[in-house]
Amino acid sequence: MLEVSGLRSGYGDVTVLRGISFSLDHEIFAVLGANGAGKSTLLKTLARLLPITGGSLTFRGRDVTQSQPHRLAAAGLAYVPQESNVFPDLTVAENLSIGGLIGTRTKEERLEELFDLFPALSARMRQKAGTLSGGEGQMVAVGRALMQDPSLILLDEPTAGLSPKYADALFSMISTIHRDKGLSVVLAEQNASKTLAIAHRAMVLNLGEVFVIDQAANLDTDSLREGYRL
Amino acid sequence: MTGASSATRPPGSPAAGAKTLHLHDVHKHYGGRTVVDIDDLVLGAHGIEGLIGPNGAGKTTLMKLITHVVSPDRGRIEYHSPDGTVLLTQHSPDAIARMGVVKTNQVIQDFESLTIRESLLLSLAGAEQEKFYKVLRDKAFLRRADQEIDEYLDIFTFQDPDGRAGSAGEKKLLDILRCLLLKPRFLLMDEPTAGLPQEETDKVMELMRTKTQETDLSILIIEHDLDLIWGTCEFVHFMAEGEILLQGTPSDVRSNATVAEKYLGASHA
């Protein structure tokens, strides 16, 4: 699905990612690490929103190292940023419709599936996204990405700032979309415990480098503490 | 180690005449979300202190509340110094900086049109009590300023000190030096080493250690490089969900299960 080899990236002349390599199959792949580890930078780079200064990126067998973000989106990669991930002045329906601009299935068909996942959204369709609660806003952001009919979804700390109830619901939803819709998921999170509970494999980043990649079940407290420098 | 609720003052109380920040019942929320909720907190009792916590803990907001860039919903933030006690929430950010409580910027900010020397000179002039235009025409001041700026430029590596800061690292370093030239008495450093090469990071930290040992400067550092916090700070405050949950020496805080729980989640504490 995704091959990442020696990836280097950052902001201007500041290099944040220093040679990240991993491959992604049909799975939930967790990206863990403390503040500043490079999790968000990695996801932005995978979505081609940051320049790749070294290494290569292959998506579904195609080298996309130099591809434009919209080409990747059209090829089936959806990205949900941590912040500013909805259009606040647009309604929920309009936000979701933007995701639906990509793909061949009808919007109605996709919306119906989406409402199965997020029943609460059906009652909010005319509401401006900026007036939603944090949890509802995240549902719209993820929903907009799912409306793209992607094969891979990148989720950047989707539970940040959410109440435990909404966070648990989102983790459960991520498992569901992987299982039922067949999506591969790259899930960046700081909270390791809940993430590892739903992930198949995980990578711990430390200051822009891979500390460890392993099966989620194999990552014990000691290795996590070391990876987080705790 | 102390839990925050019982710790109005950390162990090793400040010596008479030291500068400390005292926060009482300080609360800040954005929308429906509480980002800072401090009962009682004393900062600055030790030379270099660290402020750590997971994303969204409220660390940067806490620093912005102290410098009054952000106003608290309620609460008192006092600056205690040999000159007396000042309620910071009654003063502007500029006035607070003139009192000596200065914050470096997490996100790079630069005077793009000024050379490195001009930018540093501006900070030195800002530390004077006189008006800028008078200070900048004072030849004795300019001689002193040149000497002082040269001392810093001898320590740190800029590609062209007479030109503009080029790289992000140079801009970050320039921001730190500008703050030091304001002659702070309490320096708040928000992720000072992000984007700095390791060699310059080491020099910055060495300089900070020297400053706190040789002068009366107090420093509070937010830093995502936890190795730097454990290795540099004498005392650490751990913050999560807007509250100070733990305080203690680096080794005490590092070994506490609450820290692992907040970073990693309950089952990996």
Please state, in angstroms and rounded to a whole number, the distance separating the CA atoms of residues B220 and B41. 13
What's phi and psi for A93, nearest 5 deg? -60, -45
Parent domain of A75: 2-227
pLDDT at residue B30, as a whole number:
86
Q: How many residues does chain A have?
A: 230
Q: Which residues, in sequence order, are bridge partners of residue B49? A: B220, B235
pLDDT at residue A23, as a whole number:
96
pLDDT-derived band at A13, boundaries 50, 70, 90: confident
pLDDT at residue B127, as a whole number:
78
What percentage of chain A reaches a pLDDT higher than 90?
Answer: 61
Give pLDDT tens digits for A92-112.
999 998 988 888 888 889 988
Residues of A with Cβ-Cβ distance to B263 under 8 angstroms: 34, 190-192, 228, 230
Note whether A190 contacts B33, CB cutoff 8 Å: no
pLDDT at residue B124, as a whole number:
86
State how beta strands A2-11 and A77-80 pair.
Answer: unpaired
pTM of the complete model: 0.83
Q: How many CA atoms lie within 13 A of B145 on its CB side?
A: 23
pLDDT at residue B4, as a whole number:
47
Residue A222, pLDDT > 90, answer no
The CATH number of residue A97's host domain is 3.40.50.300
When comparing pLDDT for A121 and A10, which is higher?
A: A10
From A38's Cα to the closest Cα of chain B, the distance in A is: 11
B132 and B82 Cβ atoms separated by less than 8 Å = no
Please state, in angstroms and rounded to a whole number, the distance separating the CA atoms of residues B149 and A149. 58
pLDDT at residue B164, as a whole number:
85
The CATH number of residue B33's host domain is 3.40.50.300
Note whether B33 contacts A134, CB cutoff 8 Å: yes
Q: Please report whether residue B159 resides in a domain.
A: no
Q: How much is the average pLDDT of A184-199? A: 92
Q: Please report whether residue B70 resides in a domain.
A: yes
When comparing pLDDT for A56 and A193, which is higher?
A: A56
Nearest to A29 by CA among A153, A166, A150: A153
What percentage of chain A reaches a pLDDT higher than 70?
Answer: 100
ipTM above threshold 0.90:
no
State how beta strands A2-11 and A52-59 pair.
Answer: antiparallel
pLDDT at residue B13, as a whole number:
46
Note whether B260 contacts A13, CB cutoff 8 Å: no
Parent domain of B64: 2-107+185-193+211-268
Q: Which residues of B touch A (CB under 8 A)?
A: 32-33, 54-56, 167-169, 191, 194-195, 224-227, 230, 254, 259-260, 263-269
pLDDT-derived band at A43, boundaries 50, 70, 90: very high
Q: What is the dihedral of CA A92, A94, A96, A102, to 10 degrees?
A: -170
Domain count for chain A: 1
Q: Please report whether residue B152 resides in a domain.
A: no
Note whether B195 contacts A14, CB cutoff 8 Å: yes
Out of A34, A133, A192, closest to residue B268 by CB:
A192
Domain count for chain B: 1
pLDDT at residue A147, as a whole number:
92
Note whether B227 contacts A229, CB cutoff 8 Å: yes
The answer to whether A221 contacts chain B (CB < 8 Å) is: yes
pLDDT at residue B189, as a whole number:
94
DSSP code for A45:
H
- What is the chain A residue with the closest CA to B191? A36
A52 and A44 Cβ atoms separated by less than 8 Å = no
Nearest to B33 by CA among A190, A195, A122, A166: A166
Segments of chain B with pLDDT less than 70: 1-17, 106-109, 267-269
Q: Please report whether residue B139 resides in a domain.
A: no
pLDDT at residue A162, as a whole number:
78
Please state, in angstroms and rounded to a whole number, the distance separating the CA atoms of residues B66 and B21. 8
Q: Please report whether residue B236 resides in a domain.
A: yes
Q: Please report whether residue B162 resides in a domain.
A: no
The answer to whether A193 contacts chain B (CB < 8 Å) is: yes
